[in-house]
Amino acid sequence: MPLSRRRFLALTGAVAATTGMSPASAARALQAQSPQAAAAAAEWTTLAQRLGPGTAGTLGYRPVVSLPGEPHIVRGDITAPLDGRAGRRRSLLSFVHLTDQHIVDGQSPSRVEFLDRYANGQCPADPINAAYRPHEMASARVADAMLQRLRRIGVSPVTGAPIAMSISTGDNIDNQQANELAVFLGVMDGGRVRPDSGDPARYEGVATSGSTEYWHPDPAVNDLYKSAWGFPARAGFLEQALAEFDAVGVGLPWYTCFGNHDGLAQGNAPVNPVFEGIGTSAVKVVGLPPGSAPCPPQTPVAPTPGAQVMAVTADADRRYALRQEWIQGHLDSPGLPKGHGFSQSNVDTTRAYYTADHGSVRWIVLDSVNPGGYAEGSIGDVQLQWLAAELAKADAERKFVMLFSHHGPRSLTNPLQDPDPLRDPSYSDLPRHMADEVLAVVDAHPCVIAWVNGHTHDNVITPRGKWWDIGTAAHIDWPCQSRIVDVVDNRDGTLSIFTTMFDHEDTPVAAFARELAGNDPQAGFGTGMGKPEDRNTELVLANPYGAASDDSVSPPAAISLPETGLPETGLPANLSLGGALAVAASLGVAKLRMEAARRP
């Protein structure tokens, strides 16, 4: 449950009574950095162990195996690190970056899986990819397994300070569908989740269409994935992936961004009534008409003469959720904070951007989706003016600014100036601005220390003048990872931003889905990981305000972590395992067994 300010004060009183410390000292100790807690948390990250491909079989299929962990690589591209900073540093903020979860309704008629095969080397220009993934039915289970691992980690693997919150930087869903949004919100908030759609009693997707172009877990079916790439059979996998389950939830305040797959059909096109009619219908296209020319593909999603189709159960919840409904869904979510960054004003104006303060760090969250279409991003004119004003305000208030958006600078390359044809012109916020114009605004303000983003499904960290551009890999594609980000004040005129990768929990469905992702012929083991210097890092930069920050820890009201009991100390059972480790290390109350540390 959330650790409110009132509950935090009650907890400090209990700690004070147990240890004889004053309540003020106990409150500071609960937030204190702890090397012991950090070391325990690090065991669940890629600092201790990473994953990679094992020995290939005859057709190239590889299992996922454990490999040695990777330490933090110090990057002084922007500012040279100073000796002794490890003993001086103080935590400003610790949070988790989730991105590109792509909760997929893989049975929807408005998906175009049949086009994906032409990116498997059958067309020289690779006109489309990622329309079908053999593991995509398990996307909700993968998201849940990621949160299970996050809850195990609990505290920063760098400082031991509590992880205060998380943010998911867009493409939370795959096809702008209302039912996908409902599953995403359910996974993040926790509780009973049904990732299925259509007929709840049976799977109705491409794997049972009769086409052998798609992977089928049934051993009796000899499909392309098995015969060409050596994919294994796994009877019952689809049913397990789509079964209802109890999601653990983030267990933290969580925020989000708007991504192109959240706001465009297939992440590329403005929606219209024809698209929606297809999506909620009872007919699904699974193959092109015989003799059609697929390079580039010419066949629309709608059934055409000779197209291969299959009957599915119509489902009205597959309707498209426009930006306003998408924002409203977050306001209706029971998780914290209320609205997950959005307010009623965002609903009323359909503006999917906002700010959120976390101590001395201010988050500015942008909407980089071009309503006119195309997967790459841009920033609207009104939003860009708003950004300039917010950055000037942060400069004056001496806040450290972290920008968040789905598209980072490397993918703000969408040249379209066309509005969404069915919306009010203000919805599209024209003219749109690409990277150079946006960077000119950002670079004019010393407050910016980082821009955190996704979209490209890979780990990549780029120095940009005086601040860092941090892109993180996707849940949906290999390596299926997330990133812990720690902002620390080195108290020597520099800051460090630590980034630490972690893998999701090895639950049966999610672990097998990760193996399938690693062997995907389009985006497998050779993609997504980035270089070592894009993964576990210490990114050094100058403190834009020179002196050490007065705010050295995250505010206690932001803490909301997994539950565990501490009967041997008498502390309340609402403190997370990570928080319990920090208390034990800081106060010497108890030494928790490692077995307890491995409980979700």
How far is residue 263's CA from residue 371's CA, in Å, rounded to a whole number?
8
Q: Is residue 504 part of a domain?
A: yes
Q: What is the pLDDT of residue 155?
A: 97
- For residue range 325-347, list pLDDT tens digits in order: 999 999 999 999 999 999 999 99
Residue 424 lies in a domain: yes
* Mean per-residue pLDDT over the chain, rounded: 86
pLDDT in tens, 498-511: 999 999 999 999 99
* Residue 180 resides in a domain: yes
Percentage of the residues of the chain whose pLDDT score is greater than 70: 81
pLDDT reported for residue 201: 93
What is the model's pTM? 0.87
Query: Is the confidence at residue 467, as pLDDT, over 80?
Result: yes
Instruction: For residue 286, tell me if it sits in a domain.
Output: no
266 compared with 17, residue with greater pLDDT: 266
The residue ranking higher by pLDDT, 301 or 429, is 429
**331 vs 322: CA distance, rounded Å:** 15
- Cα(416)–Cα(429) distance, integer angstroms: 12
Predicted confidence band of residue 307 (pLDDT cuts 50, 70, 90)? confident
- In the prediction, which pLDDT does 290 show? 72
Total tally of structural domains belonging to the chain: 1
The pLDDT-based confidence of 395 (bands split at 50, 70, 90) is very high
Which token pair is 425? 């012109």
Q: What residues make up the domain containing 469?
A: 49-105+137-197+250-270+320-542
In the numeric block, which tokens belong to residue 95? 């949070």
Span 190-233, pLDDT tens digits:
999 999 999 999 999 999 998 998 999 999 999 999 999 999 99
How is residue 77 annotated by DSSP? S
Confidence of residue 407 (pLDDT cuts 50, 70, 90): very high
pLDDT given at position 304: 58
Statement: residue 470 has pLDDT above 90 = yes
CATH of the domain at 89: 3.60.21.10
| CA atoms of 339 and 492, how far apart (whole Å) | 37
pLDDT at 554 > cutoff 50 = no
pLDDT of 3 > 50? The answer is: no
* 214: in domain: no
Is residue 448, in this structure, part of any structural domain at all? yes
In a domain, 233, yes or no: no
| Better pLDDT: 564 or 415 | 415
- Dump pLDDT digits (tens) for 72-100: 999 999 999 999 999 999 999 999 999 99
Average pLDDT over residues 306-320: 92
Q: Residue 129 has what pLDDT? A: 64
Dihedral of CA atoms 79, 83, 87, 88 in degrees, nearest 10, equals: -50
pLDDT value at residue 34? 86
Answer yes or no: is 548 within a domain: no
Output b/e per residue, 229-249; b: 16+ Cβ within 10 A. Answer: bebbebeebbebbbeebebbb
